[in-house]
A and B are shown apart, each in its own frame.
Chain A
Amino acid sequence: MTATFERGINSFKEVLDAPIASFFASCVHCGLCAESCLFYTETGDPQYTPVHKLEPLRRTWFQEYTLLGKLAKAAGLSKSVTDAELAAWEPLVYDSCTMCGRCSMVCPVGNDLTYAIRKMREGMAAAGHAPEGLVTATTRAIVAGSPAGVKWVTVQAQIKHMEKQFGIEIPVNQAHVDYLVLMSSWEILNYPEYLGAVSRIFKQAGATWTLSEHAYEATNSGIQIGVSDLARELVGRIVKAAEDLEVKCVISPECGHAYTAIRWEGPNLMGRSFGFEVKHILEVIDELHASGRIKLKGTLDKPQTYHDPCQISRRGGVYEQPRKLLKEIAPQFREMKDTGTMNWCCGGGGGVGANERAEPLKLISFKRKKAQIEELGVDTLVTACANCRVTIEEALEHYHMDVEMLGLTELVADHLEENPS
């Protein structure tokens, strides 16, 4: 369907609900959300104040759904949202917001601004004001099956590579297994060791699992750009594969928005609950470890810290599991000052990483994470999101920082006891 301004405004009207209305009605313009947003703290530019990013959506609500707003509009005291205004807001809604949710934890009146930004993107995309990079990634995801254009043959090549490296067969299209494992584009292209790590962990745990050639990609650009129809199409592929194979659980990879897409938005996009569970890989590893199905040995003997991926920790609730695992294998683990559900974003989530135009701003915003790393004095950073990992690795290179990045799943696999009793 062609994007038009009218469609955008209609979409704004459709997404406005009681929670968003209560947020707009309660805002006291205190500006504290700015102090929680790394795009403001690292630039000092007030336009990056989170609630300001929602202004066109707020005015639509005011004029359409409040008596005072209708009167103000009729009297010419409240100007209507224009297409030019939406165009001007595009960099605020996409380039300078990773939907990390930190502002939602800070607002004194309780506004979940991230919830509103996610909804506002629906209207922005419908009006044709989404960044080119995200539009291209979403188109590739629909047409080719992956936002990075990764095809099944690429996955097959990585499967062979990992099977050769670790000597463990990687099952494909197996029905009636415990787990359907998904990957993100970055894991397929940059970190195939993740797949090898999963195969090693499941081998020791004795868990049955599979990949699916019809649903290997977990990244959901539809969520990031804000087009629910496309997000539904992408989630639907995973749901169909999981149901066709009759698996018990679908595992979201080390990717933040993928987890949000399949775990929290998935059932709502599909309009029904799933007949299978959805878990993040860290939840599964923690369960296997807690039940004694995997045993760990050895330690990572250097100071290191954990970067909480926003969608997994603050917006996903998986923040204790990585710490329990790290406690076992990393005695020199140090917490950052702001951590867990109050962590600072890497700066590349929410589609910012796929938006070339946002690159300079993304690097500036990384100064917050840079300061956190330098304050701790660690030289190793562990995380559980491939997108965070790519963002941070690129920024570390840019700032000439000698810090090693590790994926937690791989780290766990590297510390598996070889012959557990």
Chain B
Amino acid sequence: MSALELLTWARGPGLALALAAGLFGIVLRVFEIQALGRKGDLATARTITPGSGWRTILSRSLPPPGMFQRAPLTYAGGYVFHVGLAIAVFGFAPHIELIRGLFGVRWPGLPNLFVDAATVATIAAMLAVLAGRLMDPVKRLLSGFGDWLAWTLTFVPLLTGYAAFHHMSENYTLLLALHILSVELLLAFLPFTKLFHVVGLFMARWYNGDIAAKKGVAA
């Protein structure tokens, strides 16, 4: 298979397969969670409460008082990575064009220089959090195959995208094909790794906020 054939497959059947697998996986995982159900709470909830599930969905994006100082690398690395990734994925004009082609929605792209800088920052943040995971005893204890897989699945699309954008290989077609294929792997595996948190955290935060809110606490 030539690079062009690979690119053609990645843009066509490969993308469709990846989207289907990702969507199926997300639906399955959400079903697995919700099928377990939740017992109703018979305790009388407080009528006046500063909290709610919806509030916690938003508020938990910020570190609670004092926590940033306790874990600056985790928080700073996390913010740079997540914001940078969002800029690279949703701010780059060719990505927007692809999304428009698939779903019919579009928005203005960001300047290439800005997206490029964000990508570099994201790659640097990923390397920093990887080093943190390797060195920090707590993170090492919690880490398993899934953690390294999730990191790799996220890192490779960034790296190949950056390399393709800068034409780091004479075979641009192959680089682009590898970039798209790596994104497709990410999409297909997302529901079955800890990357599922992009969906799961909305449920987790809501439950947490709801449990606390009934007691009059903003969690």
Contact = CB atoms under 8 A, between A and B. Distances in A.
A338 B205 contact: no
B136 interface: yes
Interface in A39-66: 40-41, 46-47, 49, 51-52, 65-66
B192 to A, nearest CB: 5
Given A30-B74, A35-B67, A264 B139 contact: no
Interface string A251-295: 000000000000111111011110001000000000000000000
A362 to B, nearest CB: 21
A25 interface: yes
A18 B38 contact: yes
A106 B67 contact: yes
A266 B43 contact: yes
Interface of B is mostly: helix
- Of A25, A68, A107, A277, which is in contact with the most chain B CB atoms at under 10 Å from its CB? A25
A21 B42 contact: no
A317 B215 contact: yes
Contact of A342 (B65, B139, B196): B65
Contacts of B217: 314-317, 319, 341
Contact of A111 (B29, B67, B204): B204
Interface in B30-53: 32-39, 41-44, 46, 49
A319 B46 CA distance: 14
Nearest to A69: B32
A105 B43 contact: no
A315 B213 CA distance: 10
Contact of B200 (A26, A40, A267, A337): A26
A22 interface: yes
Contact of B139 (A20, A21, A29, A105): A29
A104 B211 CA distance: 11
A316 B211 CA distance: 11
A49 B138 contact: yes
A21 B138 contact: no
Contacts of A32: 67, 71, 74
B84 to A, nearest CB: 17
A31 B207 contact: no
Given A29-B143, A31-B142, A106-B67, A341 B218 contact: yes
Nearest to B142: A29
B137 interface: yes
B139 A110 contact: no
Contacts of B201: 26, 108-110
Interface in A281-324: 314-319
Nearest to B141: A46
Contact of A18 (B33, B138, B197, B219): B33
Contact of A46 (B137, B147, B204, B209): B137
B185 to A, nearest CB: 16
Interface residues of A, number: 61
A137 to B, nearest CB: 24
Interface in B133-150: 136-143, 147
Nearest to A311: B215
B64 A342 contact: yes
Contacts of A270: 42
B28 interface: yes
A109 B205 contact: yes
B204 A105 contact: no
Contact of B34 (A18, A28, A111): A18
A221 interface: no
A213 interface: no
Contacts of A52: 141-142
Interface string B53-74: 0001100110111110011001
A267 B42 contact: yes
A30 B42 contact: no
A112 B219 CA distance: 9
Contacts of A36: 64, 67
A341 B212 CA distance: 11
A26 B46 contact: no
Contacts of B139: 29-31
A112 B215 contact: no
Interface string A52-86: 10000000000001111000000000000000000
B208 A111 contact: yes
Given A19-B211, A30-B78, A32-B74, 17 more contacts: A18-B34, A19-B204, A22-B33, A22-B200, A22-B204, A25-B196, A28-B194, A29-B147, A40-B138, A108-B61, A108-B201, A110-B205, A111-B208, A268-B41, A268-B42, A271-B42, A342-B66
28 contacts: A18-B207, A19-B38, A22-B204, A26-B196, A26-B201, A28-B194, A29-B143, A30-B78, A32-B71, A32-B74, A34-B138, A47-B141, A52-B142, A67-B28, A104-B212, A104-B219, A108-B78, A110-B201, A112-B208, A115-B208, A267-B43, A268-B43, A272-B42, A314-B217, A315-B217, A318-B216, A338-B66, A341-B218
